[in-house]
Amino acid sequence: MKRSTLIEHYRQVRAQSLALVAPLSAEDCCVQSMPDASPAKWHLGHTTWFFETFILETLEEGFKPFDTAFRVLFNSYYKRIGDQHPRAQRGALTRPDLDHVLAYRTDVDKRIAALLANEVSADLHRLVELGLQHEQQHQELLITDIKHLLSLNPLYPAYGAQPAVTNKHAGTSDAGWQDCVGGLVEIGHSGNGFFFDNEAPRHSVFLRPYQLAAGLVTNAQYAAFIEAGGYRQAAHWLAEGWDWQRAQGRAHPLYWREGQSGWQEFTLVGMNDLDLTQPVMHLSYFEADAYARWAQARLPTEAEWEHAVATHAEGLVQLTDQAWQWTASSYAPYPGFQAAADALGEYNSKFMVNQYVLRGGSAATPAGHTRMSYRNFFPAGACWQFSGIRLARDY
Amino acid sequence: MKRSTLIEHYRQVRAQSLALVAPLSAEDCCVQSMPDASPAKWHLGHTTWFFETFILETLEEGFKPFDTAFRVLFNSYYKRIGDQHPRAQRGALTRPDLDHVLAYRTDVDKRIAALLANEVSADLHRLVELGLQHEQQHQELLITDIKHLLSLNPLYPAYGAQPAVTNKHAGTSDAGWQDCVGGLVEIGHSGNGFFFDNEAPRHSVFLRPYQLAAGLVTNAQYAAFIEAGGYRQAAHWLAEGWDWQRAQGRAHPLYWREGQSGWQEFTLVGMNDLDLTQPVMHLSYFEADAYARWAQARLPTEAEWEHAVATHAEGLVQLTDQAWQWTASSYAPYPGFQAAADALGEYNSKFMVNQYVLRGGSAATPAGHTRMSYRNFFPAGACWQFSGIRLARDY
Amino acid sequence: MKRSTLIEHYRQVRAQSLALVAPLSAEDCCVQSMPDASPAKWHLGHTTWFFETFILETLEEGFKPFDTAFRVLFNSYYKRIGDQHPRAQRGALTRPDLDHVLAYRTDVDKRIAALLANEVSADLHRLVELGLQHEQQHQELLITDIKHLLSLNPLYPAYGAQPAVTNKHAGTSDAGWQDCVGGLVEIGHSGNGFFFDNEAPRHSVFLRPYQLAAGLVTNAQYAAFIEAGGYRQAAHWLAEGWDWQRAQGRAHPLYWREGQSGWQEFTLVGMNDLDLTQPVMHLSYFEADAYARWAQARLPTEAEWEHAVATHAEGLVQLTDQAWQWTASSYAPYPGFQAAADALGEYNSKFMVNQYVLRGGSAATPAGHTRMSYRNFFPAGACWQFSGIRLARDY
Amino acid sequence: MKRSTLIEHYRQVRAQSLALVAPLSAEDCCVQSMPDASPAKWHLGHTTWFFETFILETLEEGFKPFDTAFRVLFNSYYKRIGDQHPRAQRGALTRPDLDHVLAYRTDVDKRIAALLANEVSADLHRLVELGLQHEQQHQELLITDIKHLLSLNPLYPAYGAQPAVTNKHAGTSDAGWQDCVGGLVEIGHSGNGFFFDNEAPRHSVFLRPYQLAAGLVTNAQYAAFIEAGGYRQAAHWLAEGWDWQRAQGRAHPLYWREGQSGWQEFTLVGMNDLDLTQPVMHLSYFEADAYARWAQARLPTEAEWEHAVATHAEGLVQLTDQAWQWTASSYAPYPGFQAAADALGEYNSKFMVNQYVLRGGSAATPAGHTRMSYRNFFPAGACWQFSGIRLARDY
């Protein structure tokens, strides 16, 4: 990326975070709906902290922190940086107020701009890019977190305009299956573009012949699973998944509810009648796996997903614009993976246990942030993300 | 109370709630720090709901609710009124926003004013007075809840000016003891003024001779208890109290922390060095009882407290202006007590189990809200109230 | 008590504990069904430990412990004696095995007999009597604990013969009410017989006129409460009681279940059809209070109970032979109460918070162990004791 | 396997279960130490239930259950068979007593012997073999469960003779590393012998060059990790592993404790000084992973483990006779895996989430039960199994 492009990219990504909170009040931005979610204000602060801590602190001459308290307040989980404010207490931070956090953003933006005004070392370039990719990840989290918060409100308020959830390919999962012959293939990032450390190294994987569904499972298809007693028959479920849904009394996706004339779904524009042609989303891994079993199919491995997309993208739709797609792959290091030795090594690697990989992207993923080799990951019980199902089966 | 006095009283009490939130931002007013506490905004809404539900709904001609959703959102626990928004989720209500709740207040105030402009029935008079007493109770909760919220913030922000915690009588607990001969005495409300149902009926109680401490236990005295190993010696503690402090790793009062040069205390003006001459406060019943045992004294019963105040007020200080005083009395109905048959009967009586009575009043209690017969009550583990110790002993 | 009587009493009480476990296997005696309950083997060991620790250790010449490990294993809660094996882990003690614990009993019995063979000091006399009263308390707990354990077994095994639950007075609660005029009365232990420290000192209490039900509430009456929707209407319940039954999905007494032809009840002789004429039992305080409210009555205070029994025993039935009777009185020290300064001071006093007093006695109470002034106590949610209801009302 | 061999094998395996409980009392066999563990008596009953349910019920003429209640009592988790007694309540089953369960074993053994006396169909042969393999799995669980139970007893009683934990290869992990070139290799069961469904199908995996440690990590090596602050430095730990050990205050392996002269370890013969030359065991996945990271190595994948053993067994020691070896592989179906459609399909497949594969075998594994392709699996926090570490690293 040229320096001028980088500067423009920085400006755009940072502006996009502000655009995302534009429909929100300071109150909306402050509250934490559950320990897994963070307040919007915290996302705004933490992404700025990332630039301040990993770039300004080492590369800015005469560095002084904007506010010494922020080093702890906005540290998410980097133990090598020092202490963190407890995750579950992020919502208690009514101070600093939103305006002060916005001032923090402005200040750091100016100082980053000053750094970029001069010659940009390869290291600085890489760190700025990493910071922007990081901010884009938090943009998606900001959307899913605010959606969860609003869903707890019995008024079912709208966030604002629905992110561009278009529906070009509705129903295409019926359209069929893409055949893939498999064999000894390579997956993992290649080329010169940006990638996270967990996407490397590129390596060989042996795949048996398989089919990947052309599109995503729809709300109509998932409603049929419910109708057929899917949540009441243990045979479809992993043992832990069965216990998970029993313990919560879960009998449908997170944001569905039964209305007087059928299913309704809480969305970013409020409570709507369920659009049966849309891909089903906000599913846990357990639900995705149970559905697949009921449908006499299975979830793809991440290698199957990536190889199919690399070789047969033309036969696949709804790859990155609707819902992330749960894979059967536990989140683990690729063969030969080495985490960085410094604090940034904590970015991805320390989460590689008891989480499952999702591939693709969603209606909430920022434009330009998706990648064929991208590995998203969440625990099997997480369902507040835009997470759906693309089926696979043996061929 | 004359009608004009009632109108003026209404105006003052309602204005005082607004004065209390004046130092707070919308963010401060929205967040819930724990299930036991409520957001300031919720207090503002609930106290208004009380007037709307118990007065306007029955007495206003052509009554229409300000917002139908508020009937559920701002119902605290009146099951005979209908559903309630779950207590632990009050902090999720970023909508309605603070401005809308303030508009609710304005609207209800106008409609109450209209009702009071005409002749006021005894029933209306009684209900308005009850609503104002209720609002004053929430004014104190608002202060204790906001203090708890701010205490969770590592920046230790100030609420604003400390409520008038004067210290006229510091150290006076050393000043001695008030002798009381006891005998067959009467307690419970008498006279024509307002009282809550739980203060009646007035009834006879037999008391043995006792002494009541002239003043409250000070921070210095409580620090001596800690210094003497008070939190490490099971012999001072009720079995349940010992388990309570062990489970939480509690080794000092809620808002104390050990600084480099001695004890500090979080207050409404931030983190300060502990003022040793002040009454100790924010104690649980368990801590108050353990201290009393260590000090070779005991907590008074509520009858001892009330009778001493009724007969020897001149020998007692810090009765209502510093900290509520835990009594040894479990919160129970007075002999002959009858709860009202309607929803207002839920106001007090359904909490009469596993709670302990506190008497007096605190620096956070609104002016004019204290009464010799007033019965405050909290579970034995509660310590976010302004709760302290007045000792008693047999004579 | 004469020395020879004491010796004989010792022999009888100790033999009774063995008689109680006669129908049980070593397996039955070892398992702990919940943290609140203890294995029968532990009861046998602990009651023996009491004699060894509080008598032999101080009064036996050349005292050597039977087994040094038992000092910790069989210490229930006496912190001044030293450490305790964790209460919830009593069931993990498969060793020492039952035979070894029985050998422990035999050994301690011999040594106590040796002590009693000579002149018996007043102190020794008092301690032996206390030890026997203590053992009788554990005899009742042994029965209720083993009943709870067997109730968890889907085979619903019988303990053996039902303890003498006679039914002389079935239905007598319909027989009416006993009037009591009250006034300034005295309660608390008097006379020369044994009593626990918590029954003293005798003191004055002022009572308003009241009525006490002649008999206990029957299964038929309680079934009518259920039938009338008692568990579904919040208005009858204390707020904490409502939450308690909701959280557990409780809709009937602990050991009831709905059979195909009506209610059944698990008893010490297995699962039986419910005998509607028997007193209802195994109720929590919350259930007892809710029933009383529904029946337009209330629970008596312990002073009302004791005074009525002292003055009108002839008008009351089922006092001590059926089920303990919940009172409205929180368990608290009597005016002037002083706990002993040594470890035995922990016997009763440290539990005086968040528990409620039960009066009378039950079918599981050892013969000769009941007393008009006896104060039994349990937390409001406890229902595995033989606990029932005697109503009271204002007169 | 010839019919006569099968009959003899049945006899031997069933007898071995009885031999394992020979040192135990009925009390030892009855108690459940935690929800994850089962009583020995339950293991004896459940393994017998397996033969009765999956063989006798379908193949015995005129089948009548030994005891109808056992169908539920001894069903572990087969939902297609019907209800189960709750796992966490297995310890409440003092009835049926041990003798009755032993009679159950004798009865079923006779009936199986009768079936095997005639011609044995391939299906019956397969089911008997499965039942015996199943029983051998429970023999190891019986040992680990009883060890856990005894470890909770402050007397630290011995189970009896230590299982044959020989120490032929102590310290050999220092002996070096086995080089493996990898490439496209095959893993999974092959040949005619017995295997569990989860070991198939055999399939291709691509491996990069790697080294596998010749032996297991020793107690001395693990003690060095502790000494170096291993449990206090977050950098070594997976984020979830760090939280796991913090939440439990874990600072050493499950059965270690600090004695006055160094580490001690609870073993099947009681509390001993730690033998530093032995392989470390009773580690969680989190601990194994943290150790590997600290030692600048990693855990092997299960494919690496199996391929190395298949091709370089001569360079590896302590494969199956000391401790199971955690692998980095999440427990997942092999490509092409199909679970059986009937209840036996629940045997393995429904646990394929959030568990990690262990390979090899341990001192507690029955003779003849180990297999190169064997996949053991437990959640990452499990440490009551004989689980240790064999390191791997890139080559």
Closest Cα partner for D159 from D20, D367, D323? D20
Q: What is the pLDDT of residue A225?
A: 98
Strands C270-273 and A356-359: unpaired
Per-residue burial over A344-370, b if 16 or more Cβ lie within 10 Å, else e, is bbbbbbbbbbbbbbbbbbbbbbbeebb
C289 CB neighbours in chain B (<8 A) are: 353
Q: Average pLDDT for residues C291-316, to the nearest whole number?
A: 97
For residue C151, the chain D residue with the least C-alpha distance is: D92
Chains with 3 or more CB pairs under 8 A to chain C:
B, D
Among A27, A44, A95, A104, most B C-beta atoms within 10 A, so best to mutate, is: A27
Q: What is the pLDDT of residue A166?
A: 45
SS3 category, B267:
strand
D21 touches chain A (CB under 8 A): no
A80 CB neighbours in chain D (<8 A) are: 235
Of C235, C238, C394, the CB nearest to B353: C238
Of D95, D152, D157, the CB nearest to C153: D95
**D34-86 pLDDT per residue, tens:** 999 999 999 999 999 999 999 999 999 999 999 999 999 999 999 888 999 99
User: With an 8 Å Cβ cutoff, are A208 and D205 in contact?
Assistant: no
Percentage of chain B exceeding pLDDT 70: 96
Q: What is the pLDDT of residue A163?
A: 56
User: With an 8 Å Cβ cutoff, are D380 and A335 in contact?
Assistant: no
Q: What is the pLDDT of residue C160?
A: 84
CA atoms within 13 A on the CB side of B21: 26
Element (H, E) at B328: strand B324-330
Q: Which residues of chain B have pLDDT under 50?
A: 164-173
Give me the DSSP letters along C101-147.
HHHHHHHHHHHHHHHHHS---HHHHHHHHHHHHHHHHHHHHHHHHHH
For residues D323, D325, D331 and D332, what is the CA-based torsion angle, rounded to 10 degrees?
A: -120
| Other CB atoms within 10 Å distance of the CB of residue D275 | 16
Q: Report how far residue D175's alpha carbon sits from residue D192's, in angstroms, rounded to the nearest whole number.
A: 35
Whether the Cβ atoms of residue B379 and residue B354 lie closer than 8 Å to each other: yes
At which residue do the structure tokens 């796991």 appear?
A: D244
Q: What is the pLDDT of residue C13?
A: 98
The yes-or-no verdict on residue D163 having pLDDT over 80 is no
Quickly state the pLDDT bin for A341 (edges 50, 70, 90).
Answer: confident
User: With an 8 Å Cβ cutoff, are D238 and A335 in contact?
Assistant: no
Q: Is the pTM of this model over 0.90?
A: yes
CA atoms within 13 A on the CB side of D172: 17
Helices C98-117 and C40-51: crossing angle, nearest 10°? 30
User: With an 8 Å Cβ cutoff, are D330 and A332 in contact?
Assistant: yes
Q: Tell me what the pLDDT averaged over chain C comes to.
A: 95
Whether the Cβ atoms of residue B208 and residue C230 lie closer than 8 Å to each other: no
For residue C152, the chain D residue with the least C-alpha distance is: D92
B329 CB neighbours in chain C (<8 A) are: 332
Q: Do chains B and D touch (3 or more CB pairs under 8 A)?
A: no
Residue C116, φ and ψ in degrees, nearest 5: -80, -10
Quickly state the pLDDT bin for D106 (edges 50, 70, 90).
Answer: very high
D314 touches chain A (CB under 8 A): no
A234 touches chain D (CB under 8 A): yes
User: With an 8 Å Cβ cutoff, are C28 and D149 in contact?
Assistant: no
User: With an 8 Å Cβ cutoff, are A286 and D353 in contact?
Assistant: yes
User: With an 8 Å Cβ cutoff, are B25 and A97 in contact?
Assistant: yes
Closest Cα partner for C158 from C28, C16, C42, C261? C28
Q: What is the pLDDT of residue D168?
A: 45
D279 token code pair:
């392989």
The yes-or-no verdict on residue D171 having pLDDT over 80 is no
The yes-or-no verdict on residue A171 having pLDDT over 50 is no
Percentage of chain D exceeding pLDDT 90: 91
Distances in whole angstroms, Cα of residue A134 to Cα of each of A17, A50, A322, A360, A385? 12, 8, 21, 17, 17
Strands D177-180 and C262-267: unpaired
User: With an 8 Å Cβ cutoff, are D91 and C91 in contact?
Assistant: yes
Cβ-Cβ pairs closer than 8 A, A with D, add up to 72
CA distance B270 to chain A (A): 13
Of C80, C208, C330, the CB nearest to B332: C330
Whether the Cβ atoms of residue C79 and residue C346 lie closer than 8 Å to each other: yes
CA distance A295 to chain B (A): 37
The yes-or-no verdict on residue D5 having pLDDT over 70 is yes
Which amino acid is it at B78?
Answer: Y
Whether the Cβ atoms of residue B332 and residue B305 lie closer than 8 Å to each other: no
Chain D neighbours among C 131-150 (CB < 8 Å)? Answer: 149-150
Q: What is the pLDDT of residue B174?
A: 64
B28 CB neighbours in chain A (<8 A) are: 94-95
Is the bond leading into C366 cis (omega within 30 degrees of zero)? no
B221 token code pair:
């005295």
Q: Report how far residue B298's alpha carbon sits from residue B321's, in angstroms, rounded to the nearest whole number.
A: 22
Whether the Cβ atoms of residue D124 and residue D131 lie closer than 8 Å to each other: no
CA distance B377 to chain A (A): 27
Which amino acid is it at B271?
Answer: M
Write down the H helix ranges in chain D: 3-21, 26-30, 40-51, 57-59, 70-73, 98-117, 122-151, 219-227, 239-248, 285-294, 302-312
**D37-49 pLDDT per residue, tens:** 999 999 999 999 9
Chains with 3 or more CB pairs under 8 A to chain A:
B, D
User: With an 8 Å Cβ cutoff, are A206 and D207 in contact?
Assistant: no
At which residue do the structure tokens 């009850």 appear?
A: B130
D72 CB neighbours in chain C (<8 A) are: 154
Percentage of chain A exceeding pLDDT 90: 91
Cβ-Cβ pairs closer than 8 A, A with B, add up to 79
Q: Report how far residue C103's alpha carbon sits from residue D366's, in angstroms, rounded to the nearest whole number.
A: 38
Q: What is the pLDDT of residue D253?
A: 98
Q: What is the pLDDT of residue D343?
A: 86
D37 touches chain C (CB under 8 A): no
For residue A72, the chain B residue with the least C-alpha distance is: B154
Q: Report how far residue A66's alpha carbon sits from residue A71's, in angstroms, rounded to the nearest whole number.
A: 9
First and final CA of chain D: distance in angstroms?
Answer: 42
Helices D285-294 and D219-227: crossing angle, nearest 10°? 80
Q: What is the pLDDT of residue C167?
A: 45
**C325-357 pLDDT per residue, tens:** 999 999 999 999 998 888 888 889 999 999 999
Whether the Cβ atoms of residue C345 and residue C249 lie closer than 8 Å to each other: no
CA distance C241 to chain B (A): 9
Which amino acid is it at D121?
Answer: S
A31 touches chain B (CB under 8 A): yes
B45 CB neighbours in chain A (<8 A) are: none
The yes-or-no verdict on residue C145 having pLDDT over 50 is yes
User: With an 8 Å Cβ cutoff, are B25 and A94 in contact?
Assistant: yes
Chains with 3 or more CB pairs under 8 A to chain B:
A, C
**B318-331 pLDDT per residue, tens:** 999 999 999 999 99
User: With an 8 Å Cβ cutoff, are B154 and A94 in contact?
Assistant: no
A88: left (phi over 0), alpha (psi -120 to 50) or beta: alpha
User: With an 8 Å Cβ cutoff, are D92 and C26 in contact?
Assistant: no
At which residue do the structure tokens 């019956």 appear?
A: D124
CA distance B221 to chain A (A): 33
Closest Cα partner for A305 from A374, A387, A212? A212
SS3 category, B337:
coil
Quickly state the pLDDT bin for C259 (edges 50, 70, 90).
Answer: very high
| Other CB atoms within 10 Å distance of the CB of residue D93 | 26
Q: Do chains A and C touch (3 or more CB pairs under 8 A)?
A: no
User: With an 8 Å Cβ cutoff, are B394 and C336 in contact?
Assistant: yes
| Other CB atoms within 10 Å distance of the CB of residue B265 | 22
| Other CB atoms within 10 Å distance of the CB of residue B328 | 23
| Other CB atoms within 10 Å distance of the CB of residue B68 | 9
User: With an 8 Å Cβ cutoff, are A328 and D330 in contact?
Assistant: no
Chain D neighbours among A 56-95 (CB < 8 Å)? Answer: 77, 79-80
User: With an 8 Å Cβ cutoff, are C154 and D95 in contact?
Assistant: no
Quickly state the pLDDT bin for D395 (edges 50, 70, 90).
Answer: confident
C328 CB neighbours in chain B (<8 A) are: 332-333
Of C33, C72, C94, the CB nearest to D27: C94
Strands D324-330 and D356-359: antiparallel
Chains with 3 or more CB pairs under 8 A to chain D:
A, C
CA distance B139 to chain C (A): 23
CA distance A297 to chain D (A): 11
Of D92, D97, D150, the CB nearest to C152: D92
User: With an 8 Å Cβ cutoff, are D149 and C94 in contact?
Assistant: yes
Q: Tell me what the pLDDT averaged over chain A comes to.
A: 95
